[in-house]
Each structure stands twice: as structure tokens, then as C-alpha cells.
């Protein structure tokens, strides 16, 4: 790619916009999206792109689903926002009820916020205060795992994998917590057990993205690994937090990983697909045991948190409409079909040069390369093929909308095959 030709427009030509994870000096000028319909993004210059990412896997029903649109329009005409301090409204109350019903009985108290990071921040705060409210201040640490990602806010950076590059500039100023390897083999299990014998009494909560660690490299582990964590948490009186911001709402084939009773967490955080890809909203769902530890005659034992836009009625209306669609349209069957097709069409790439691994779970397809020298250049190659796929580090991945047609999905997998054969030399 000739980045130095005068005609080549760069992100640095943007006078005011500052883009995420973007070296503004060297990045190519980004495409400008104008419309989104179904699984297609229509650019301002008229090009169409089949979307392989569903806007960071939020748009599970495709874009502009009329049922969600209708609910949001109705809500914007009635009451777009209302403070949640000292007041409630139907959309939030109904959504809390429906979410609680989707989880095992023990997870039944829903606290709303506005993003994935804040959903997990609230989970962490609940965990610490659970122990403080019981006069157990020794539980002042968190344990998270290599490969983990829990958001970009300051508190979350403390529990993301420090080696993953997104936050490592800040290493010296952060307040690091304990970090362990997931117990995916007997050696790592023994290491974790030994560590907890030593430090378990300091730890308030363990935090993990169950089954798939997303932004850390789309790394997979099993339910057996989660069962080990659940048992260790029980043994050491540690709370187990699942960050289901990525995995929630059917992405991996089940509605939530948390649903299996023997690996059920104490607190779970949701966001991303919660509003069907329309608006920011976070939900933190806590068990009865956690909730009860906040009940007291003492006002200071209340949960001390309250984002301005928590429980925003527009976002709750979108989330309720999204849950309607999970009930009325065959989303989980669609995920199964996508899983089969991804397996059929991505697996053959395993034998191509530079391909290190192929991983598929539900509507997530991952092609791990030995390395990707220039992810931005690959993104440009995908644009030329009419697809929106954005490599990161050594990963090419697909997290399409569940409503994607099999022809659209084939266009995405073919584009990946084409790029592997022609852009890696
Ligand atoms: C995206 C993500 C977050 C952060 O969510 P934001 O809405 O970007 O704050 C946290 N955890 C996981 C697993 C995620 O995938």
C-alpha cells in the first residue's frame, strides 16, 4: 500500500475527530458509513459492505430491525429519559424482570448502567461492598486472568491482561490486582490452588469472561475450567463474576453461559447486544446473597453508585424489544446454522500457509494467523472485496448478526480465504 502518495487520504486529514485505538498520523482515512440495513453497511460514497462484525457484535438482529425501531420511536415520543434516582419507570422495571427470568433463580437483582465497562465496574463495587458490609475489609483484592479484557475505564484497566497491549502504557500508574492463568490444564490448576491457599483470604472476587476471552485474542476455554473456578470460589469464600458482555445473548449458542447451574456466577455483567445493537446500556445482575448484604438500617450500606443515564428509557425500550425478538424469531437456531456454516467454510483454511488455528463457537469464527504484519492494510483489502472485517493483532474474526443469510456469510468467509492467499507473502 502506498501510504505516502499525496492523493492518499489519511485519518490525519480529519480536523476534529479522534478515533479509538487509532494512530491518527499513519492510519488510512476511514470509510464513512451512511446507512445500515440488515447485514449491510452502506457507505457515503455509495459502496455496500457485508458486515462481518455486527458493530462489535452488538447488532444481533441485523441493523434497523423494524420491531426495535418502533419501540424506540414510541418511547422517544413518550419519555426519552428520566432520572433513576428516587424514581422508576415501566421500561426499566419490565426489563429487570425479564432479565432476571432469563437467569437461574439465584441471579435476580438487576442494576442498570450505560456500558460494558460500567457493568463490570458495578460488579466489582458490589463484590467489595458485599464484604465491607459484613465487616470483612481484608477482602480488598481482585483476581483476573491472562487474556482477559473487561473494558477501557480506569478501574477496568487494573484487571485487564497487562500484556495485551491495549493499556500497557499505564502499567506504572495502575493499581494492579492479582492475575492468574485460567486453570486449563492440571499444572495451571495446581498453580491456582496453591496461589489461593496463600492469598485466597485477600480476594473479594474472581472475574472471567466465560468460555471466550474476546478482545484478549478470542481465546476459548471449557465449562470444566469454569467449574474449577466455581469450586475454588466456593472453597475460599470468593465471589465469582462473569463478564458476559461479549458472550451474552446467544453469541456462543446458548442465551448465556451463566445459565448452567453448576457454574453459575454470583454476579454477571451484560452490555453489547443488550439493546440489539442500538444504544449503550449495561446491566449487572447479582444474586440474592449479594443483594441481602446491602440490606440494613444503615443508609451507608446501600450500593453507592448511580450513573446519570442509568436505566435510560430509550435504551430499556430497545432492550425489551430485542428480548421480544429472541422470543419470536429463531435466533438460537440461526446461531447453530451459522456455527455449522463457519465450520464448513473456515476449517479448510487450516492448511493454508501462516494459519495457526481455526476456532468456532456459535456465531463466532476465529482465524488465528502466525502474525499479521499490517492489520490496517488487510482491512483495506477487505474493503476492496466489499466486506467489513477488521483484523486485530494476529486474529481475523467474524461475529456476524444472527440474521445473516448463508450467501452473505459465504461472502465473508471467501473474503478471508482470499486475503490469506493473496495478502500474506
Ligand atoms: C466490550 C467489552 C467490555 C467493555 O464494554 P464497553 O461497552 O466498551 O465499555 C467489557 N468486557 C467485555 C468482555 C467486552 O467484550
pLDDT in tens, the chain (425 residues): 444 444 468 999 999 999 998 999 999 999 999 999 999 999 999 999 999 999 999 999 999 999 999 999 999 999 999 999 999 999 999 999 999 999 998 999 999 999 999 999 999 999 999 999 999 999 999 999 999 999 999 999 999 988 776 677 787 788 889 999 999 999 999 999 999 999 999 999 999 999 999 999 999 999 999 999 999 999 999 999 999 999 999 999 999 999 998 999 999 999 999 999 999 999 999 999 999 999 999 999 999 999 999 999 999 999 999 999 999 999 999 999 999 999 999 999 999 999 999 999 999 999 999 999 888 889 999 999 999 999 999 999 999 999 999 999 999 999 999 999 999 87
In the prediction, which pLDDT does 86 show? 96
3-state SS, one letter per residue, for 147-196: CCCCCCCHHHHCCCCHHHCCCHHHCCCCCCCEEECCCCCHHHHHHHHHHH
In the prediction, which pLDDT does 4 show? 45
> Distance, CA 214 to ligand 1 centroid (Å)?
9
d(CA 48, CA 70): 25
Residue nearest to atom 6 of ligand 1 (CA): 116
> Which residues belong to the active site?
21, 149, 243, 272
d(CA 399, CA 362): 9
Residue nearest to atom 5 of ligand 1 (CA): 116
Alpha helix (H) ranges present in 9-115? 54-57, 66-78, 90-102
* Full-model pTM: 0.96
Evaluate whether 146 touches 161 at the Cβ level (below 8 Å). yes
Place of cell 463457519: 342
Residue to mutate, 214, 265, 281, 364, ligand 1, most ligand atoms under 8 Å from C-beta: 214
Kindly give the number of the ligand 1 atom that is closest to the alpha carbon of 215. Answer: 15
d(CA 38, CA 48): 12
> Distance, CA 50 to ligand 1 centroid (Å)?
23
Place of cell 456459535: 362
In the prediction, which pLDDT does 165 show? 65
Residue to mutate, 59, 117, 144, 213, ligand 1, most ligand atoms under 8 Å from C-beta: 117
Place of cell 492518499: 8
Q: Residues enclosing ligand 1, CB less than 6 A?
A: 115-117, 120, 149-151, 209, 214-215, 243, 245-246, 271-272
Amino acid at each position: 500500500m502506498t501510504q505516502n502518495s499525496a492523493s492518499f487520504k489519511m485519518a490525519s486529514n480529519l480536523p476534529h475527530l479522534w478515533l479509538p485505538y487509532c494512530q491518527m498520523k499513519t492510519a488510512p482515512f476511514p470509510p464513512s458509513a451512511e446507512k445500515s440495513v440488515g447485514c449491510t453497511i452502506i457507505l457515503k460514497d455509495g459502496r455496500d459492505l457485508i458486515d462481518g462484525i455486527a458493530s462489535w457484535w452488538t447488532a444481533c438482529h441485523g441493523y434497523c430491525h423494524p420491531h426495535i425501531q418502533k419501540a424506540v420511536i414510541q418511547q422517544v415520543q413518550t419519555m426519552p429519559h428520566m432520572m433513576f434516582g428516587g424514581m422508576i419507570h415501566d421500561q426499566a422495571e419490565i426489563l429487570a424482570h425479564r432479565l432476571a427470568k432469563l437467569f437461574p433463580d439465584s441471579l435476580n437483582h438487576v442494576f442498570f448502567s450505560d456500558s460494558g465497562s460500567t457493568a463490570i465496574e458495578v460488579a466489582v463495587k458490589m463484590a467489595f461492598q458485599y464484604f465491607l458490609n459484613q465487616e470483612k475489609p481484608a477482602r480488598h483484592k481482585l483476581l483476573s486472568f491472562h487474556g482477559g479484557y473487561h473494558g477501557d475505564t480506569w478501574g477496568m484497566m487494573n484487571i485487564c491482561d497487562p500484556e495485551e497491549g491495549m493499556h500497557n502504557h499505564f502499567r506504572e500508574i495502575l493499581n494492579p490486582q492479582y492475575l492468574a492463568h485460567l486453570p486449563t490444564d492440571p499444572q495451571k490448576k495446581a498453580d491456582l490452588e496453591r496461589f489461593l491457599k496463600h492469598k485466597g483470604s485477600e480476594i473479594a472476587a474472581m472475574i472471567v469472561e466465560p468460555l471466550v476471552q474476546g478482545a484478549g485474542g478470542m481465546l476459548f476455554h471449557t465449562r470444566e475450567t469454569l467449574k474449577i473456578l466455581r469450586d475454588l470460589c466456593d472453597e475460599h469464600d470468593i465471589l465469582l463474576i462473569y463478564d458476559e458482555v461479549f458472550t451474552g445473548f446467544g453469541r456462543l449458542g446458548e442465551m448465556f453461559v451463566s445459565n448452567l447451574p453448576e457454574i453459575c456466577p454470583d454476579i454477571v455483567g451484560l452490555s453489547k447486544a443488550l439493546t440489539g445493537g442500538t444504544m449503550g446500556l449495561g446491566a449487572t445482575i447479582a444474586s440474592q446473597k449479594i443483594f441481602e448484604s446491602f440490606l440494613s438500617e444503615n443508609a451507608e450500606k446501600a450500593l453507592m453508585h448511580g450513573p446519570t443515564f442509568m436505566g435510560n428509557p430509550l435504551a430499556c425500550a430497545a432492550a425489551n424489544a430485542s428480548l421480544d425478538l429472541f422470543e419470536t424469531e429463531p435466533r438460537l437456531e440461526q446461531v447453530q446454522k451459522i456455527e455449522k456454516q463457519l465450520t464448513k467454510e473456515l476449517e479448510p483454511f487450516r492448511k493454508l500457509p501462516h494459519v495457526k488455528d481455526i476456532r468456532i463457537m456459535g456465531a463466532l469464527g476465529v482465524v488465528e494467523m502466525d502474525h499479521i504484519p499490517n492489520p490496517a492494510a488487510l482491512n483495506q483489502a477487505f474493503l476492496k472485496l466489499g466486506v467489513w472485517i477488521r483484523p486485530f493483532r494476529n486474529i481475523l474474526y467474524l461475529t456476524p448478526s444472527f440474521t445473516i443469510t448463508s450467501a452473505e456469510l459465504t461472502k465473508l468467509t471467501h473474503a478471508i480465504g482470499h486475503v490469506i492467499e493473496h495478502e500474506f507473502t
